[in-house]
Amino acid sequence: MSHDDKGAPENGVDPAVSQEAAAGDGIAGAGVSTQMSDDGGAGPEGTATRSGESISFEQTATWGGVFPIAALNALLNIVTLTLWRFWGRTRVRRYMWSTTLINGTPLTYTGSGAELFRSFIFVMLLIFLPIYGGIFALQLYLPPEQAMMILGLAYIPILFAFSWLMGMAIWIARRYRLSRTTWRGIRFGQAGSANAFSWASIGYGFLVAVTMGWFEPVKEMRLSRRLWGETFFGDKNFDITQSDEGLAGPLYPTFALSWFAGVIAYFAAIGVYIAMIGPMLEAGNTAPTMNMEMILKLYLAMLVFFVLYGFFSLPYHAALLRRKVAILGLGELRFSLRADMFSLGWIYLVNMFILIFTLGLGLPIAQMRVWRYVFRRLEAEGQIDIDAIKQTADRGPKSGEGLADAFDIGNVI
């Protein structure tokens, strides 16, 4: 039995949680109980007073439930040269949503594969076809030296534009997924501006670079706050319970461990590689031949780096998940996530082997394990009057995720 299948019940009510981080940016109770407060009754004027409702979470997805979906998706993706992925992704989401229960009532996913496909075609024709067409025209009609010079001068602007589009893609895809998620007939929603979020992502990314990574926790928490501060359930806005001051502060002890472990792991990997090719250098081979033996040695050195850095990064990733959930509120509700480095590390390790041995075709199974981990460990304190929350007129975009899919970040639960 895998670690995520046992023990205490195992993030957030955000259906968009990777990759970060999500996983990561983004955004986990065994039994489900519906609790109503007993303070209802007649008020001073004889009118009924509304009572609050406690919230509990349950996730019932299984390997046996998701495997047939993953197997059929893999087969149809091969037959259709990956065009089935839009409908396949929709089938996975419908299964995951339907096995996620809040107070005994499942989430519902109302999106369709046609919406995803239409959005992808639109983005490819409107954005990427002109870009790649222009690059091809330069190479076709200009001398190679002149074409390379123009492309070299345009490299930074193109990189900047793609970074902006990436931020837009994350926001737009999240808005689409939320708008296609309902609970008790009430839709989730995303307000705000994709453009503002994208510029914030670029600015924070620049600060991460100039600080050699030390701005990363602040970037993660500010982007998460921006997204969740503009997230709605019906007409009820999610609250952010933490101001800028101290927003990312609790993350820095574990981040420092991760950062210094990365430096040590880097030099350890170089040391292992030098030790392995040392005999060749002593024999006078100043430029070792890149044969199979050398490739294996190079991969072994890389493995040393990823094992050391990955292990010592787990406390930070667990702390980041807990912190992102801890700053969330919805009315009187406050959320928490029981994530720790060992349980999260087990999820990552098994998922890595699933993806390696299935050549990526087992992605729905890996996603299910992360989704299940989050909702089995997600808890809510306080009560909320669900009946007072009303549906909004905004039905969200008519299509979505085309831009995210073009950047290969659309395959997110």
97 has a pLDDT exceeding 90: yes
- 315 domain residue, yes or no: no
In this prediction, residue 154 carries a pLDDT of: 87
Cα distance between residue 116 and residue 89, in whole Å: 9
In this prediction, residue 295 carries a pLDDT of: 81
Structure tokens at 95: 């299964």
- 312 domain residue, yes or no: no
Say which DSSP state 128 is in. I
- 10 domain residue, yes or no: yes
Higher-pLDDT residue of 346, 401: 346
Strands of 105-106's sheet, edge to edge? 57-59, 100-102, 105-106
206 has a pLDDT exceeding 80: yes
Q: What is the mean pLDDT of residues 389-405?
A: 88
Question: What are 13-37's pLDDT values in tens digits?
Answer: 343 333 333 333 433 333 333 333 3
- 265 domain residue, yes or no: no
Cα→Cα distances 66→91, 97, 366, Å: 10, 12, 10
The angle, 0 to 180 degrees and rounded to 10, between the axes of the packed helices 252-282 and 292-326 is 180
324 has a pLDDT exceeding 70: yes
Region for 251 from its dihedrals, namely left if φ exceeds 0, alpha if ψ lies in -120 to 50, beta otherwise: alpha
- Number of structural domains in the chain: 1
- 357 domain residue, yes or no: yes
Give me the domain span that covers residue 96.
3-33+50-247+327-406
- 93 domain residue, yes or no: yes
What rounded mean pLDDT belongs to the chain? 86
303 has a pLDDT exceeding 70: yes
Structure tokens at 343: 């349980």
- 336 domain residue, yes or no: yes
Q: Contact, 340 vs 351, CB < 8 A? A: no
| Position 289 confidence tier, pLDDT thresholds 50, 70, 90 | low
Q: What is the mean pLDDT of residues 211-235?
A: 96
Question: Residue 340: which residues within 8 A CB-CB, separation 6 or more?
Answer: 318
